[in-house]
Amino acid sequence: MTAVTPELLRRYDVPGPRYTSYPTADRFIEAFGQDDYVLALEQRKHHSAAKALPMSLYVHVPFCEALCYYCACNKIITKHHERAQTYLQYLEKEVALQVAHCGKGQAVSQLHLGGGSPTFLSDAELTQLMDTLRANFSFEAVGEYSIEVDPRTVTRERLAHLAQLGFNRLSFGVQDFDPDVQKAVHREQPAEQVFDLVQAARELGFHSVNVDLIYGLPKQTAASFQRTLEQVCQLRPDRIALYAYAHLPERFKPQRRIAQEDLPEASDKLSMLSGSIDAFMQAGYVYVGMDHFALPEDALAIAKRQGRLHRNFQGYSTQPDCDLIALGVSAIGRVGATYSQNAKTLEEYYDFLDQGRLPVVRGLALGRDDLVRRAVIMSLMCQGEVLFEPMSQSWLLDFQRYFAAELEMLAQQQEQGLVVIDDDGIKVTPMGWFFVRGVAMTFDRHLQAGKNRARFSRII
């Protein structure tokens, strides 16, 4: 990190996509609907090669008991837990419609429950949900089955129940251990509680425990966040996701409760990022990419070393690039060369399913240029390199001619030490990994065409 100058950090302190997909979700159109999505499912069903590959499942549980002011997720704040039972009934309807088109018993190697707070559901309701999924899909014995956990909603006994249901990976939302910061964002949870839960998860045999952190929150300082970093290194989770807080109160109503004057200055945010990278690297973590760190023996770090890293809507993954069936309100999926998103409100989501229709309200069918650029961007984001000849052969094009303008723009990043360009291809340098989103943005046709970047989070 010592080679990363403050000037370089400031230069790349700009909004940009996280590239969990390309094109990004802001490019989805309402002209893409249920019929387009069903066609993609049917094509998968009748394509032997595609059908033979395991798929991934994502289930969105939107409910939370309390509002976290920083949150930009699609969520519903309620203490009425009976609403969950209604939601589960509609999820079952959606699963039935999905299976009717893609075929029952499709192999699944990856499952992720996100939210909201999936642990808003009771043990019985989580069992009900998993029973529904297992009755319709075939879960592989060796797979990644993860769930996002609000530490305030679980006990050791609840974690044991999650293990019994087949979950083998947990992601704890921590954000910051400082009491003043927690109070400012309306998410108070003692550090001792998280330490006890992580210890319980290890004793219960979970394969991996992730901790989410956010820098740039109200009341944070470089010194206070350093104390949180020390606690996290002491906690030693298998993986760490470190996100920059994006203050967009005009888009996300809960953030209007955060006073602008309580937010740290840009220079303090840069100090927090620099301090975080230094602390985690010194503690022995591998920098996987963007804002993810993992212990050397974790599957994510191993995949990075072996060139098997992949990326999907949940972030970095060890699972091969595969179709993603998304279930629940606002959930985003991918089937074949298409992306799709469900209705964003419960009322609309329920209404579609009452009509016997899949709740797809927008999406995108990718063209050839989209597919080529997606391959390049994902290669940069996951492998840290793009080789000209293999890419040219795979897509039947002359890479250096097709991307002549982009290679010219990359020349400046080569001067800054972020990439190396030679006759064989483009390689992201160790320092360039910290700015890999900025490197990938060079190949984003929509951004380079002048698309407003303000709707994205900042690169750092």
* 450 band by pLDDT with thresholds 50, 70 and 90: low
> Is residue 5 domain-shared with residue 33, that is, in the same domain?
no
- Residue 212 labelled as part of a binding site: yes
Q: Is residue 304 part of a domain?
A: yes
Contact by Cβ (8 Å): 41, 358: no
Q: Is residue 341 part of a domain?
A: no
What pLDDT was estimated at residue 3? 63
Amino acid identity, position 314? Q
- Residue 432 labelled as part of a binding site: no
Output DSSP code: residue 116.
S
> Is residue 132 domain-shared with residue 149, that is, in the same domain?
yes
Q: Which residue has the higher pLDDT, 142 or 453?
A: 142
- Residue 148 labelled as part of a binding site: yes
- Residue 332 labelled as part of a binding site: yes
Maximum C-alpha span of the chain: 62
SS3 at position 58:
strand
Burial class (CB in 10 A: 0-12, 13-18, 19+), 297: exposed
Q: Which residues pair with 108 in a beta bridge?
A: 55, 139
pLDDT in tens, 428-449: 998 888 788 899 999 999 887 6
Contact by Cβ (8 Å): 329, 317: no
> Is residue 383 domain-shared with residue 417, that is, in the same domain?
yes
> Is residue 122 domain-shared with residue 105, that is, in the same domain?
yes
Q: What does residue 227 show for φ and ψ, rounded to 5 degrees? A: -65, -40
What pLDDT was estimated at residue 457? 65
The last residue of a domain, from among 299, 325, 351 = 325
- Residue 192 labelled as part of a binding site: no
- Residue 33 labelled as part of a binding site: no
> Is residue 18 domain-shared with residue 47, that is, in the same domain?
no
- Residue 73 labelled as part of a binding site: no
Q: Is residue 90 part of a domain?
A: yes
- Residue 246 labelled as part of a binding site: yes
Average pLDDT, the chain: 92
List the one residue out of 376, 377, 387, 392 whose CA is nearest residue 420.
387
> Is residue 310 domain-shared with residue 417, that is, in the same domain?
no
Amino acid identity, position 136? N
Distance CA(289)–CA(65), nearest Å, equals: 33
- Residue 68 labelled as part of a binding site: yes
What pLDDT was estimated at residue 9? 74
Distance CA(296)–CA(302), nearest Å, equals: 7
The last residue of a domain, from among 293, 310, 325 = 325
Output DSSP code: residue 302.
H
Output DSSP code: residue 337.
T
For the cut 80, the answer to whether the pLDDT of residue 226 exceeds it is yes
- Residue 233 labelled as part of a binding site: no
For the cut 70, the answer to whether the pLDDT of residue 33 exceeds it is yes
> Is residue 162 domain-shared with residue 310, that is, in the same domain?
yes
Q: Which residues contact 285 (CB under 8 A, 6 or more apart)?
A: 240, 293, 294, 295
For the cut 80, the answer to whether the pLDDT of residue 14 exceeds it is no
> Is residue 379 domain-shared with residue 316, that is, in the same domain?
no
What pLDDT was estimated at residue 237? 98
Output DSSP code: residue 457.
P
What pLDDT was estimated at residue 90? 98
What pLDDT was estimated at residue 155? 96
Contact by Cβ (8 Å): 359, 343: yes
What pLDDT was estimated at residue 42? 92
Q: Which residue has the higher pLDDT, 317 or 3?
A: 317
> Is residue 405 domain-shared with residue 382, that is, in the same domain?
yes
pLDDT in tens, 179-195: 999 999 999 999 999 99
Distance CA(391)–CA(403), nearest Å, equals: 12
CA 457 to chain centre: 13
What pLDDT was estimated at residue 151? 95
pLDDT in tens, 230-262: 999 999 999 999 988 988 898 889 999 999 999
Q: What does residue 315 show for φ and ψ, rounded to 5 degrees? A: 110, -150
For the cut 80, the answer to whether the pLDDT of residue 294 exceeds it is yes
Range of the domain at 426: 1-23+367-449
For the cut 60, the answer to whether the pLDDT of residue 310 exceeds it is yes
The last residue of a domain, from among 325, 348, 380 = 325
List the one residue out of 109, 97, 84, 164 whose CA is nearest residue 131.
164
What pLDDT was estimated at residue 267? 78
Q: What does residue 245 show for φ and ψ, rounded to 5 degrees? A: -70, 130
CATH label of the domain that carries residue 391: 1.10.10.920
Amino acid identity, position 305? R
For the cut 90, the answer to whether the pLDDT of residue 132 exceeds it is yes
Amino acid identity, position 192? E
CATH label of the domain that carries residue 55: 3.80.30.20
Helices assigned H by DSSP within 319-432: 346-354, 368-382, 388-395, 399-402, 404-415
For the cut 60, the answer to whether the pLDDT of residue 452 exceeds it is no
What pLDDT was estimated at residue 284? 97
What pLDDT was estimated at residue 458? 67
Q: Is residue 292 part of a domain?
A: yes
> Is residue 268 domain-shared with residue 130, that is, in the same domain?
yes
Residues in the chain, total: 460
7-16, 118-127, 298-307, 344-353: which range is least confident on average? Answer: 7-16
Confidence (pTM): 0.91
* Count of domains for the chain: 2
> Is residue 79 domain-shared with residue 207, that is, in the same domain?
yes
**CA distances from residue 106 to 49, 54, 324 in whole angstroms, order as listed:** 13, 7, 12
What pLDDT was estimated at residue 351? 98
pLDDT in tens, 47-98: 776 667 899 999 999 999 999 999 988 899 999 999 999 999 999 999 999 9
* 460 band by pLDDT with thresholds 50, 70 and 90: low
Element (H, E) at 76: strand 76-77
7-11, 20-24, 291-295: which range is least confident on average? Answer: 7-11
- Residue 115 labelled as part of a binding site: yes
Q: Is residue 239 part of a domain?
A: yes
Share of the chain above pLDDT 70, in %: 96
Contact by Cβ (8 Å): 89, 37: no
Contact by Cβ (8 Å): 242, 213: yes
Contact by Cβ (8 Å): 69, 257: yes
Q: Which residue has the higher pLDDT, 377 or 317?
A: 377
Share of the chain above pLDDT 90, in %: 75
Q: Is residue 80 part of a domain?
A: yes
Q: Is residue 145 part of a domain?
A: yes
Q: Is residue 424 part of a domain?
A: yes
Amino acid identity, position 50? A
> Is residue 69 domain-shared with residue 130, that is, in the same domain?
yes
